[in-house]
Amino acid sequence: MAAAVTIRRMTPTIAAVVIDDPTRSLNVLSPEVLAELAEALATIAADVKLEGLIIASTKPSGFLAGADIGSFSTRLAEPGIDAAGLCRQGQALFGQLAKLPLVTVAAVHGPCLGGGMELAIWCDRRIAADLPHTQLGFPEAKLGLCPGWGGTARTPRMIGLANAVELITTGEPVSATAAFRLGLVDDVIPRSTPPEKLADELLAAAVRMIVAERASGQYLRDRQRWSQPIAQSETELMFLGATAGAMIQQKTGGHYPAPAATLELMLEAASADLPSACELEAERFATLFGTSVNRALLNVFHLQQRTKQPLAATQSGAHPSRQSTADSRRPTVAILGAGTMGRGIAAANVRRGHRTLLADTRPDALTAAIPAILREAAYDKEAKGPTLEKTTAAAALLTRVDTDAQLGSADMVVEAIVEELAAKHALYERLEAVVTPQTILCSNTSTLPITRLAAKLKHPERFCGLHFFNPVRKMQLVEVIRGEQTSDETLAMVTSYARALGKTPVVVRDSPGFLVNRLLMPYMNEALVLLTEGVPIKAIESAAKAFGMPMGPLTLHDVVGLDICQHAGRVLHAAYADRVVETPVLSTLIAADRLGQKNGRGFFDYPPSKSDGPPKGKPSAEAETLLAPLRQPAAARTDVTDRLLLPMLLEAIRAVEEGVAADPRDVDLALILGIGFPPFRGGLFYWADTVGAEELVRKVESFSELGARYEPPTALTKAAAQSSAIERRRLTDVLKHE
């Protein structure tokens, strides 16, 4: 096996330690790579002729994505693991870079995250290529941790405490140019550099930087400064702690302890020297390592990584060997429908460099959609708006379609027209007359069965559902729905296409509501039932938010639109009549023209606001008056959370038992990405396993008088029956083997 870490001589006095793990598509700091890195640094330290060292990667995918999370997760199961000791080992290894009698420079392209970022900050200087996929940062907070290899100690001494607090506690990466403005990198190779010359130019720039630093000696003065306490007064520290703490509390709701713990650590370490700051970091890391939130967030990470693997499409039977053809080139994609969803899907395609055709039977809708799509596709995060360069590039990719014949060049068609079966059938008939025999057709339907939609197609094997969620620009989830005749190759192509858009595809079998809407239905329906039982609106909303949901179920009704919820509810009631309780709540509010946020009146009132954020609802006296006759006398309840969550869980079990979802992990990821199920819970099934099957059965049976929606499915009762005082049987294990 070829080595992952090699030493290359750049000049007689400058060497490069090059990382390129041949066993992986992206470099990570696995135990094996760390061992090789230690050997390489020992060799460098013994070479008295050297004056400079470059840390670089020759892997096209990037520099370093961080620690090997798979190996890291395995360590959680080791009894008596010394987490602080692991931190000290990493700090000692990387710390050698700041002690070598030569200039050290990290040459970065692509991802430089977590442990990779920590390796870079222990170097004297950093230089980065300004590429679209170059990202620098510390995502540890998103795993319920703080950096452990010197990130919280070195970074604030380099870029300032306030900047470091924001960078590390949010876990959000920054681009090369943003990192340059922060002082996180010292030079940037411009994006205009020809791709074939980029690697050589990056290394050449690093060599020039070493020569300049040797001449000026500034790197030695910075080493001295960065080893000292941070010059910041007690008043400044208190102000930063108060403002940053308030922002963290507002963002996390107190459910994620790592950001607050990291802030506290960085404030405490500010007055310490570098070695003491590193020791404080190791100790704080150990308190976060292995906590319930850390384990849950690691589970979410593995759920996301699982969808990136080639076998992801095999969730519902796609053949993995056929997926490679989907990645060979960017397809030309036609979007049919210039409404809200069509615009969002078109913008996502243009933003990812796909030639995009946009069609609609309404010329005025097309005229209005084109500039809106270009604005969204050309949006630049740093410029906080579209740029001329990106707008020009986007315009070259977007084509208005006025005749069916223009659709003939499409490799893939995504239909997003009105939810009417006859209208879609008529459109498909026209399409099949002009597209090629290889063209794949997808529908963005959220309610109509894929198999029924395919009934009149000549080639139903090249048709599937591709359900995006609104707003497309924000929602990462895409449901790929397999109809009865959808081919393995089609499924593989479409999942690959969804990943190319930066989305996370979850493959599900065709059934009413597909997966996410089917599981959301019992949650939202139960909220309406609780209202009729006299539970106050505030109690329902508070129970959901205390569990960690991003908003209460009644606010969610308002966001979606009460009329849309009513329509979806009727579709799902027709399919699952024994488990959907009809209430007059929505029809009563709709009759009073209370449709939700779309017209400022739903369960809550939404007065006009000058802010750009989402509308803020206020209690509505009119809504309370309208609902009063529908409600039983108010009763104090302590089981509201169970009433909301258990029907969703039971329906999820049924969906897996029926094969709608092939794996409980698909359900967990779909709900996290699709409805905002709290990541710190690890997923719906992950949370269920923490509660335990026996306890879940006890809870469910206590609601048996409420009917079929609370009947425990077979897998749940089996998991409870197989549990013992010695070992608790996990529900997910039972479902995986059903």
Q: 168 near 151, Cβ under 8 Å?
A: yes
- The residues assigned a catalytic role are 467
Q: How far apart are CA 481 and CA 502, in angstroms?
A: 18
176: buried, middle or exposed (CB in 10 Å: 19+, 13-18, 0-12)?
A: buried
Q: 260 near 214, Cβ under 8 Å?
A: no
- CA 106, 111, 117, 121 torsion-angle sign: positive
Q: 104 near 125, Cβ under 8 Å?
A: yes
Q: 512 near 346, Cβ under 8 Å?
A: no
Q: How far apart are the first and last CA of the chain?
A: 40
Overall size of the chain counted in residues: 738
Q: How far apart are CA 416 and CA 468, in angstroms?
A: 10
440-443 vs 412-415, strand pairing mode: parallel
**Coil/strand/helix, residue 622:** helix
* Residue 104 neighbours by CB distance under 10 Å: 26
Q: 153 near 138, Cβ under 8 Å?
A: no
Residue whose C-alpha is closest to residue 61's, from 31, 29, 30, 21: 21
User: Could you write out the DSSP letters of every residue in 580-604?
Assistant: ----SHHHHHHHTT--BGGGTBSSE
Strands (E) in 26-78, as ranges, are 52-57
Q: How far apart are CA 106 and CA 36, in angstroms?
A: 17
* Residue 424 neighbours by CB distance under 10 Å: 20
**Residues 6+ away with beta carbon under 8 Å from 542:** 552
Q: 643: which 2 tokens?
A: 């009433």
| Backbone angles phi and psi of 191, in degrees to 5 | -65, -20
Q: 449 near 512, Cβ under 8 Å?
A: yes
The residues that bridge with 398 in the sheet, in sequence order, are: 356
| Backbone angles phi and psi of 349, in degrees to 5 | -70, -45
